[in-house]
Amino acid sequence: MIYPIGDRFDENNIEGVLKLADKFGMERVMDNAEKALKAMEWDTKRLFVLANKYRLFTLQDSLIRELTKETIKDLKNSEEYENFSEKTKDLIFEKYLKLDD
C-alpha cells in the first residue's frame, strides 16, 4: 500500500505518492492524487511541472483553460519549461494564440 486508507494528500506527501504510484502503475492512486492537486492552491508553474512529469492530463487541461498571457510568459521564462513535453508546450502555445483572438 502506498498510502493508508483514510489519509489525505497534502503538500508534504503528494509528490512522493505520485512518484511511487507512477513507478508501480497504480492508476487509481494517480487519479486520486490528481483530484487532490486540483484542490490545492499551489502556483501554476508547480502544478504544471507535476502534471507534465506524471502525465496528469485532466489537471493539465484545467490549468491550460485558466492560463493568461502573463502566466504563459512566466511559464515560458522558467527553468522548468525546458523539461515540459513537446505536447505540453504545444498546448500552452495554442492557448496563447487563442488569447489573441
Per-residue b or e along 21-39, where b marks 16 or more CB atoms closer than 10 Å to that residue's CB: bbeeebeebbeebbebbee
Q: What is the pLDDT of residue 100?
A: 79
Listed by start position, the domains of the chain span: 14-99
Distance (Å, rounded) from C-alpha 18 to C-alpha 50? 9
Over the stretch 31-84, which tens digit does the pLDDT of each residue have? 999 999 999 999 999 999 999 999 999 999 999 999 999 999 999 999 999 999
